[in-house]
Structure 1
């Protein structure tokens, strides 16, 4: 059995790298002045595309859970902050993210993919 949270963290790092290819978050001439504090353990492109297809199915079936998954794993927004933004209990956010993780894990299980 795979650790779906670790898989989604690696997929989130891969997605962030793809988003950051379009623009530099640091102005020209200032790159390298500050150490990079993020440690991104990204996955391979083929694994990430497989997870991405499962997340795409989640978007079709459960768009609200998809948004939470993207905010948490790709953008790095903490669950507590998501709860404040949506004005609900943090427990609800945790449950919805767990449901989204279960959906992606089930999708990967149906596809019988080894990551």
Structure 2
């Protein structure tokens, strides 16, 4: 079975967008039926999948802050690669 990592990160980014900079999960305990913070009408990931991706992203933040910032910019904030490169002062390699 092949997994579309970019697709997973895109869906994760939609859920992470409304909580950028908060470092809190998007769903409180017992509130699984709460409305999403964004108005996107897309296929959503399960809470368990979102929590697992959040855990991995948190590990990335601890291991490589620049890669973490690139990932958040690209998938959660939906900033273009060119803008990310300009802000972080890096070049596309």
Into which bin does the TM-score normalised by the smaller protein fall? 0.5 to 0.7
Aligned length: 75
Unaligned runs of at least 5 residues, structure 2: 21-38
Classify the secondary structure of the residue corresponding to 2:71. Answer: helix
Deviation at 1:41, TM superposition (A): 3.7
Give the alignment's TM-score, normalised by structure 1.
0.56
Deviation at 1:15, TM superposition (A): 1.1
Which of structures 1 and 2 has the bigger CA Rg? 1
Asked if 1:78 corresponds to 2:86, the answer is no
Give the alignment's TM-score, normalised by structure 2.
0.68
Runs (4 or more) in structure 1 with deviation over 6 Å come to none
TM-superposition CA deviations, 1:53-101 (whole Å, max 9, x none): 1111111111110011011100110001111223332x23xxxxxxxxx
Deviation at 1:14, TM superposition (A): 1.3
Q: Which residue of 2 aligns with 1:47?
A: 49
Structure number having the greater helix percentage: 1
Greater mean deviation of Cα atoms: 41-50 or 63-72? 41-50
Unaligned runs of at least 5 residues, structure 1: 21-35, 93-115
Deviation at 1:51, TM superposition (A): 0.8
Q: Which residue of 2 aligns with 1:5?
A: 6
